[in-house]
Amino acid sequence: MSLSVDWIRHRFGKLASREASETNSETTPLLRSTAQKRNWIYPYNKHIVFPNNGLFIQDFKKFTSNYPGNKIRTTKYTLLSFLPKNLLEQFYRLANLYFLFLVILNWFPQMEVFHREITMLPLVIVLTVIAVKDGLEDCRRYSFDRKVNNARTRAFDWKHKDYVERCWKDVRVGDFVKVVCNEIIPADILLLHTSDVNGVCHIETANLDGETNLKQRRVVRGFLSPDSPFVPEHFNSTIVCEKPNNDLNRFKGYMENPDKKKIGFDRKSLLLRGCTVRNTEEAAGIVVYAGHESKAMLNNSGPRYKRSKLERRMNIDVFFCVGLLIIMCLIGALGHVIWLGSFPDWPPFEVPDENGKFTSPALAGFYMFFTMIILLQVLIPISLYVSIELVKVGQVFFLSSDIDFYDEEMDKLLQCRALNITEDLGQIQYIFSDKTGTLTENKMVFRRCTIGGTEFSHQENALRLAAHGDVDSDEEEAVGPQRGHRSRLQFNSKNKSTRAFRRCHSAKAYYYGGYGRKKSEARRDSEVAFSSPLETDVTPDKKLMKIAREAANQMEMWCEVRYSSDSASYVDFFLALAICNTVVVSTATEPRHRVTGPSLLKPSIKSLEKLHSFLQKLKPGRISQVLSSIQSNSDQTGGTNQISPSPSGTSVGEENVAGECSSSVSGGFKDSGVSSKASTDSGDYAEGVKVGDEICYEAESPDEAALVHAAKAYNFTLMSRTPDHVTVRLPQGVLLTFEVLHTLSFDSTRKRMSVLVRHPITREIIVYTKGADSAIMDLLENPSQENRKENKITKNASKTLKHLNWYAKDGLRTLCIAKKVLSEKSYEQWSNIRLEAEAAIENRDELLMETALNLETNLTLLGATGIEDRLQEGVPDTIEALREAGIQIWVLTGDKQETAVNIAYSCKLLDQRDTVFTINTDSKETCESILDYTIEEVKRYAAVKNTRTKLFKVPVDVGTVYPLEGAGPTFGLVIDGNTLSLVFEGNLKMKFLELAKHCRSVLCCRSTPLQKSTVVKLVRDKLKVMTLSIGDGANDVNMIQAADVGIGISGQEGMQAVMASDFAISHFKHLKKLLLVHGHWCYTRLSNMIIYFFYKNVAYVNLLFWYQFFCGFSGASMIDYWLMIFFNLFFTSLPPIIFGIMDKDISAETLLGLPELYKSGQNSEGYKWSTFWIAMLDAFYQSLICFFVPYLTYQGSDIDIFSFGTPINTLALFTILLHLAIEIKTWTVVHWVTMIGSVIFYFIVAIVFSATCISCNHPSNPYWIMEREMADPVFYLVCIITPVLALLPRYLIRVIQGTFVLCPLLKARQLDKLDKEQRDEEISEWRERTRSREATVPLSNLSPPTSPTSPGNSGHPLGRTLTFEAPLNVDLGNDGTTPPGRSMLNGTVTENIYTSIPVSSADRTGDGGKKAEDDSDAFCAGHQRSFSIMTI
């Protein structure tokens, strides 16, 4: 309900009085007198800024010392803090603490196993490797910080009384800073002065959020002085604003003058650090936030670190290894006690202490427990964590280097911002996607419109768009660089010395490392956003063009009849398209230079004739009225409205009557400084649109650009825009200059924007509004039933609504256009309240919202537009492949339901064979009833489907992939935002999930950003599934951050989604390869490598454990300590790392051709409980073979302990590396080099160590052991036979699996061995068999459920011609009865186009009060269940 102006004023008055009573806590003292000293009370919740201009020296020093400087430091360490801080961070990892504990244990003589230095070696090496890596990364950050901090800017020095050059790092809060065109802003600056006469500064925020369109920032109110330069010495105000925060869209505060007057300001006056000044010669302001307190730095979170699902599972298995280690140590301790007890007296080797006492067996067993922990420490794989980090770095490198992810237009590859969740890409089960800009191109193309209830289909424009689809995109790219080249020449022609460094410095987005602007930056600096030929070239409808031209020529009727004619609505419609926006006008030759006035050149003779013809139509009486209107207007505005000749008009003097009338048409340029005398001269501050110049529009959104280009196509051309005026050229060439009174910007709450203008002819105050139909239709005036004219308005609204539904069904984005005429008294009353709200300090946003809501009421509908947002290339194929991969896809969008559903069918999110449930309700009870009934019916078919699916399940080895779908219908769900609110508020979440998890696709329409993130969290937490969110806009940030994996698309809505994401791609189609190929590879590689590491460590440690049974569990080792330590650190570490980075079990072509192979990752078949324990059993078996074969070989011989251990160590190396060779699926040169190199490196180290180490490990002596073993033939025989016996079972299992092909993954590997043609043919046959398997049981054999519906409803088999219809608005018949196909349900109307679900069986009645019965199968394939309950 709209709020009254009096109520708002009353509320604001209360707030103002409350504020006045609290001024002690908020008021900032001002200038101090020389004779008076003031006591400061620092407001803890405010940010106070004193200017550094010599007037506030003491206060400036006092407060500025509490604020950080502008020097930034993104490094983590300093030279002094590097070692302690890095070690502290590394010891957060439990594995490092575990090995530190072992090092400490080994320092106790009773438990010492190795030399103390040897025990420390593994931990020292691991800590050193990670420290070096962290140090190199920090060095790169340091060099980058130094480059930024030493950048130059101009700051005011009150001692020199001028601006001087300073480094960025020397700028402080309170300094006055001047920036020039194309310069990057060094800190967050409150704008106090610009070279623009209207106090506007244009900035480009590409470095901050990726958006290349220009944003306007305005000088703080009261500081606009175009005729005088800004003098910082005269600034005597104190600035009070909010504490630093990371919200880019929030900033408010006030200035307090010496007279205690407060001047409020907001984010429109704030220049953010990192933005680039455009289209403004110079700007100056005062620094309010600097360095790390600037909003850009507060948003610089850097790469995000998450724990992947695989890592969480691995940590559990590490605890299993700890348990296994404890068991083995307990066995060793118990065995040692038993062994000591077997001696009748103390063992002869036992040495008593200094008191002659021997250690008791129990205490010796206790010591032996810890000794065994030290001996078997390798069971806990410390090297695994380092290897995982290296593997993930390698995986990220290959991800970022994949040329298939390269976008030539944006010059970007895939970016990985989260470095440790690459394997999660292979386990995704649910995808949540935005629609606009994610599934679609976000290139808005004007398609159709309806004006006054008349629809114009624009068939010619449809043909143009169809032709565009066949043209290669290279043609568009050829246009852009040419335009950009001209503009760069134009930029370089001015201020060369100043801008040379600025341009170079702006070529890197230094806040978000790695995803900067490279080659595309050159284009962004010059190209205009949303200006591709597809968007700008609109082919007008011939009929509408004729009507619009005739309507524009009947302008003399406007003065007699105030917009009462039908033709006036057409002119108003196109004027609203051209005016109701924030588009900045520029020219093609200078696309970054705003046009602020029409052309000041002499117009052509043809244009003069057109204007003369127009003036001839005006009656003499009307001319005098127009002249008097001009005179009165001139008196009211203080003579500031001057004559501005049209490019098609004439340049005349003040006494020329035609010129006088022309001024009334072309309007006045307030404060423009353009007069009739200057009509033949060039303006000082702005250049008009020269003859032949092409106009460019800098829009903040693609929707605005599309509407302005549509108006231009009908010759309603937006010519110039200033904060106070906007000029439009009419079809006959006449210029209308509207005075802009207020602009109510678009926000997600109101879902609309409005602009208040004063019409140059009628002098009426008009509100032009555009917005979503759901927001506009409820604000239309409510006419009475008696007035025929008002009935006509009602019919126009009804027709427009019908046209809107048509547009939505065609997948078009709809916007309604409306207007409202205000009286002078109403406007004055509203304007006063608006000004008070703008000047408010507290509750400013709420007050502004209230004033906007009060104004936007009782609107008159002009028409509506249909804008097409085309699907991105490859979206249908990508969605189809992801669905075949077993991934559930949900689309969460804020668009209309009909639009979203149409797009869903176009992109194959919904299939024509799906049974789609559409739930729209405003009642919690109705929602619960619908959910209960639908869940019951869906479960019946789900049970039938699961029963038949079991026919295809075969108990096979890991990697089993079941059919995508079973026999039976597949379901889809469409739900709107209102119903979602009921679900969340009414504790219906679990019922909603129960229904949604049986649906193949879910479409949530009219969803808010909060609802999007709530849905993602609900599915993630309750269903315990892996989720992925993908979006391109700021409204998708919450959703992206809520998912396990967040993906941002660098599209036309900026880079806020990219900055919040884990991975960044350029197009939705890249998601297919990212998940199906790289996701599968990353998960398979890492899971296999982790399993291999566990196997390797357990197998090697068990060799030492088996030896304890033959040495009295004394903790002795038959392998030299140095070789044992090097075994895991060097000899067997590199091959598994290469295996984890480069192995490819299946080729990319096969993975893309058979998406169902992705299910192996979803089911965690590469790494699960059974896989882990099978690897452990295999490790135990191989360790038994590797120990007892040499033991039996050398049994009875007189070899020493190291001569026995060296062959075991060598054959263990062969066995472990050959085990890896069996697991490697793709051999490359790197694999061969690392495998052979590891063996050679082992022999080199062992030979050199044996030849040089005489007393390295006293009292043992490994001297010449390796040389003697290599001279013995038995050594070679054992090293050959033992690995064969150890690996034979695993090899036979792999052979059997490859022979019988029980697993789809194995079959896919066999397909890779075929040539391309055979492989493609086999893949096609495989897919056909899968589809035939899905359709084995005909749907007609399924018994239909009973579903109560209204009379007259029958099955509606849609087949391949599905016509979706969701009744958003319900009309009763002329006689008040319910139209056919609808039934009354307790005061609600339920649409029964397909079928409807009643609230309850007791309340279900038809038109005649009879219970409805259903005699059809509503769940047949192709049916759509529409549950649309609308209260009337």
Catalytic residues: 434
DSSP string across 470-528: HS-THHHHHHHHHHHHHHHHHHHTS-HHHHHHHHHHTTS-TTSTTS--SHHHHHHTTSP
1293-1326 as b/e, with b when 16 or more CB fall inside 10 Å? eeeebeeeebbbbbbbbebbeeeeeebeebbeeb
Q: How many residues does the chain have?
A: 1432
Alpha carbon distance 766, 763 (integer Å):
9
Sheet holding 1027-1031, edge to edge: 415-416, 1063-1065, 1045-1049, 1027-1031, 430-433, 888-892, 1001-1005, 971-976, 915-920, 1424-1431, 1388-1391, 1382-1385
Strand 270-271 and strand 1001-1005: the pairing is unpaired
Distances (CA, A) of 445 to 462, 465, 535, 583, 708: 10, 9, 5, 16, 11
CB atoms within 10 A of CB 305: 10
DSSP string for 527-591: SPTT--HHHH-----HHHHHHHHHHHHTTHHHHHSSS-SHHHHHHHHHHHHHHSS-PEEEESSST
Do residues 910 and 928 touch, judged by C-beta distance below 8 A?
no
The label of the residue with tokens 């239309």 reads: 780
DSSP classification of residue 1384: E
CB burial of 157-177 (b: ≥16 within 10 Å; e: otherwise) equals bbeeeebeebbbbbbbbbbbb
The DSSP output letter for 190 is E
SS3 string, 279-312, reads CCCEEEEEEEECHHHCHHHHCCCCCCCCCCHHHH
Q: What is d(CA 334, CA 42) in angstroms, rounded to the nearest whole number?
A: 70
CA distances from 70 to 56, 143, 148, 186, 933 (A): 20, 17, 10, 8, 62
Cβ contacts of residue 1068 below 8 Å, gap of 6+?
Answer: 433, 438, 439, 872, 874, 875, 878, 1030, 1049
Question: What residues contact 423, with CB distance under 8 A and at least 6 apart?
Answer: 308, 309, 310, 1079, 1082, 1083, 1086, 1087
**Residue corresponding to tokens 């020097």:** 71
C-alpha 543/C-alpha 457 separation (Å) is 10
Q: Among 1287, 1291, 1293, 1267, which residue's Cα sits nearest to residue 1189?
A: 1287
| Six token digits for residue 1151 | 């993975």
Residue 253 exposure: Cα atoms within 13 Å on the Cβ side: 25
List the structure tokens of 1307.
């079959």
Sheet containing 454-456, strands listed edge to edge, beginning at the edge strand earlier in sequence: 454-456, 440-451, 860-871, 812-822, 765-771, 752-758, 735-747, 725-729, 717-721
1175 vs 1030: CA distance, rounded Å: 37
Give the closest residue to 156 by CA, choosing from 189, 201, 131, 133.
189
Q: Give dist(CA 945, CA 1010) in Å, integer.
A: 35
CA–CA dist 695, 720 (Å, integer): 10
Rounded to whole angstroms, the Cα distance separating 1404 from 933 reads 14
